[in-house]
Structure 1
């Protein structure tokens, strides 16, 4: 089990050097019931009323039980801890005794071959890339979990890879540590902000290399690059749980409404409440006045925000795949082959299979049904070229008047 030692919360933060211009940004954090706060890697100092650990993680003294909003400054290209204190080196090499002998033997083999620290890192990544599988349903592991993962199951998700990688590095005498956080997210182009969800959680590793300090390494990328590439784009894997682009656009707009609510209502503090009616000559508003004004303002703000968000941006696109399928259903319906409301494509095909007498026409229809089912249900998001090909095939399919359809 990986744990954060209490000593990391005290003492000065690790030295960071960067020639980049710092990025200044604002974060709105929903309640997490944990003390840790998020920031771009790597934050330069703790925001007001927050604290920074030795390894530059932000935290509060209490669990985050309400919405927090704070500003931070970070650099994304940096050298972290160019010099490693002996105490920190010892901590980053520590491993429990009596576990994972095969892993230790492999690390010793790499070190005995005269490989440099950087070369050993590449050897571990090449090992993962050669024969490992990324899965969210890995087999259970026993006492020597790293040995079993590296030499038997060879299947897991980011926490398996980061943990096994760090154990390999420490066994080879390279200071290393597991890093957890969030990667990428969902860019809301309407609101111009990045939404990061718990589903974007990820685990990496860091190794300390002489002359470079702590260097970020993502072992998962060696196994499944798609898991870690394009994670903050409009087409990223993180948001492809939606069955169509129109639903993604709707989710985008609804989240913007949530953000407007947070900024306009949740952050409406006492000081702003007292001065709410000052433009109307009321310097110290009474509770009744505030309730009336606030209720009216909330109604107007939400009405206008909802109308603007739902109708802004590009028009909702009709799903091209379903549009082609509906054209095919309508064409068949005009010849008496009507699909029922609660009937799936395969059920419809089975029920009408013997009503078309011409075998070649029936075969082409069955091919179209199989193509639709494959594009709609076998993939997260169908390939646009395949959708276009399906639409073309539907356009070319007709039931000539000479074709007999049995009643």
Structure 2
């Protein structure tokens, strides 16, 4: 039960609440009931249907890989109710091994691996114990350390083959198949934004990306990680323009400052990417829409790495096409009348677009506050925000600012992404968390093109440019927690780089270090087959010699057998020791000493509590009689 529970643990840690608590409770209930014998069939059926109902209630009818993993965890939890015989126990342990394997469909982190290896080791130890029970050996006859040593030897036997498969098996640039989608989406950026959508995202401190700079680094206030650009507004929701995805990227004139960096993006189950504004060129597998929304050619279901160069924009689409202008001024009728009236009033008072933008920022700076606790918006959400609440977060500020600008005749849009970052004190990289998600605006100004305007920074610059330590309250507990968090993230980054990031390119670089230049898939497959064959041969040799190497009595006995085999009197593999000695004595009557030694060997080997201190020496010294030699 301990082995099965340990295998189940890493899978439970990846399931959304409250499923882990419910399944863990079902597992403990099943374990207690199993001590009284196997449950009746009707009860097992009821519990299986109950587990299925709970999982479906949590994930819905959409069967994703998280739903399938939850069903596996639930069925494994109630599996002890079927325990009757040793065969049932072996079935439980065999099915338990599916749990850590399923965990890797949801998470490939080092904690999942360590817990999975621990569960597998305990399963091996439990299987050994079951074998000991079937053999009739009392529990006290096999020490726990001896059983642990046997498990470690089993792991060591398979390690060379596992390393050969990891290092040498051909890595494909694109997988042969993809993983099923999750039934519940992970928090992250999307191509739409509605009131209240970002509450959970802004409270999530999980990493979103890690960036390592080669050379100059931007200041945190310049770290705008550009994501989806939202153009359409229907009165409540901002969405990306579908037809702009196929249009060529708008021209950008970059500044003199250039940043070279490596970007590692955490999986999001989407194909949306972010990059520091604005990329100079795009690597293979990345493409840009007209407004420079970046996407990947395949879904981001694992940690992905990108090498990029970015430079701040000086002019961004300085010549705005008429269709783009119309799209960037579009507003639905019947929404937010007070906001639109205010924008028309401001436009009547000034013809200078830049002055109008500054007027809006000054109003926000003087009369508004930043907060995550906002009531649910009604039909006229922007009117409520600007004239009643006057408090909100980036979602509210960016949406209201874009509507004000559009009604005033200034093309505007909402840009989403991340801002800032925190340097890891143990590694030379920056980490950006999901809670750093942000929405800002771009307005189109004559001669400059699209210009970034961040109304949230006008009212709460500390929200945009702060660090994680600031959010934790400065000193005290924050200073104690951060070094530990930094160390843990540094270890996780190393795991991502050297294990999860071991792709085809890194495999080729490893082979080049040992003198093997670029190898095609066929040559790599042949090299793997050779190393796998050597590993299998080593495994066979280890297993074949293990019995002889561990027991000096057996070593001495088999040496004695080989001496007689050279005279044509060797023992057959199926032949018992005493039967062999009697056969030799019948053929050569002078071999009474061999029969006596064999009886001593059988007693020492199989009789309980038997001890013969001189037997090994006697076996080593014995030789066939002269007549046997002839």
2:531 paired with 1:286: yes
- The aligned counterpart of 2:495 is 261
Deviations 1:375-397 (CA, angstroms, capped at 9, x unpaired): xxxxxxxxxxxxxxxxxxxxxxx
Over 3 Å counting, the alpha-carbon distance change for 1:288 and 1:201 in structure 2 is farther
- The aligned counterpart of 1:201 is 437
Provide the rounded CA distance (Å) in 2 between the counterparts of 1:292 and 1:240.
59
CA RMSD of aligned residues (A): 2.9
Contact 2:406 2:412 (C-alpha < 8 Å) held by counterparts: yes
**Higher percent of residues as helix:** 2
SS at match of 1:36: coil
Deviations 1:354-374 (CA, angstroms, capped at 9, x unpaired): xxxxxxxxxxxxxxxxxxxxx
- The aligned counterpart of 2:428 is 192
2:243 paired with 1:7: yes
Q: For residue 78 of structure 1, report the CA deviation from its aligned partner.
A: 2.4
Provide the rounded CA distance (Å) in 2 between the counterparts of 1:242 and 1:259.
26
- The aligned counterpart of 1:62 is 298
Q: For residue 22 of structure 1, report the CA deviation from its aligned partner.
A: 2.8
Give unpaired runs (5+ residues) of structure 1: 294-407
2:359 paired with 1:145: no
Provide the rounded CA distance (Å) in 2 between the counterparts of 1:178 and 1:97.
19
Contact 1:20 1:77 (C-alpha < 8 Å) held by counterparts: no
Over 3 Å counting, the alpha-carbon distance change for 1:145 and 1:20 in structure 2 is same
Q: For residue 132 of structure 1, report the CA deviation from its aligned partner.
A: 1.4
Q: For residue 236 of structure 1, report the CA deviation from its aligned partner.
A: 4.2
2:283 paired with 1:44: no
Higher mean C-alpha displacement, 152-161 vs 74-83: 74-83
Aligned pairs for 1:8-407 (under 5 A) are 8-231=244-467, 235-237=469-471, 243-269=477-503, 279=514, 284=528, 286-287=531-532
SS at match of 1:286: helix
Provide the rounded CA distance (Å) in 2 between the counterparts of 1:263 and 1:216.
34
- The aligned counterpart of 1:377 is none
- The aligned counterpart of 1:305 is none
Q: For residue 109 of structure 1, report the CA deviation from its aligned partner.
A: 0.7
Provide the rounded CA distance (Å) in 1 between the counterparts of 2:475 and 2:537.
42
Q: For residue 90 of structure 1, report the CA deviation from its aligned partner.
A: 0.6
Deviations 1:246-274 (CA, angstroms, capped at 9, x unpaired): 22111111111111111111122367669
Contact 1:273 1:290 (C-alpha < 8 Å) held by counterparts: no
Over 3 Å counting, the alpha-carbon distance change for 1:109 and 1:50 in structure 2 is same
Give unpaired runs (5+ residues) of structure 2: 1-236, 517-525, 539-630
Q: How many residues align?
A: 291
Provide the rounded CA distance (Å) in 2 between the counterparts of 1:184 and 1:288.
51
SS at match of 1:190: coil
If you compute each CA radius of gyration, which structure gives the higher value, 1 or 2?
2
Contact 2:469 2:478 (C-alpha < 8 Å) held by counterparts: no
Over 3 Å counting, the alpha-carbon distance change for 1:241 and 1:182 in structure 2 is farther
Contact 1:25 1:73 (C-alpha < 8 Å) held by counterparts: yes
- The aligned counterpart of 2:43 is none
Over 3 Å counting, the alpha-carbon distance change for 1:279 and 1:174 in structure 2 is closer
Provide the rounded CA distance (Å) in 2 between the counterparts of 1:102 and 1:164.
12
Q: For residue 24 of structure 1, report the CA deviation from its aligned partner.
A: 1.8
Provide the rounded CA distance (Å) in 2 between the counterparts of 1:180 and 1:174.
19
Provide the rounded CA distance (Å) in 1 between the counterparts of 2:537 and 2:259.
41
Provide the rounded CA distance (Å) in 1 between the counterparts of 2:473 and 2:300.
26
User: TM-score scaled to structure 1, two decimals?
Assistant: 0.66
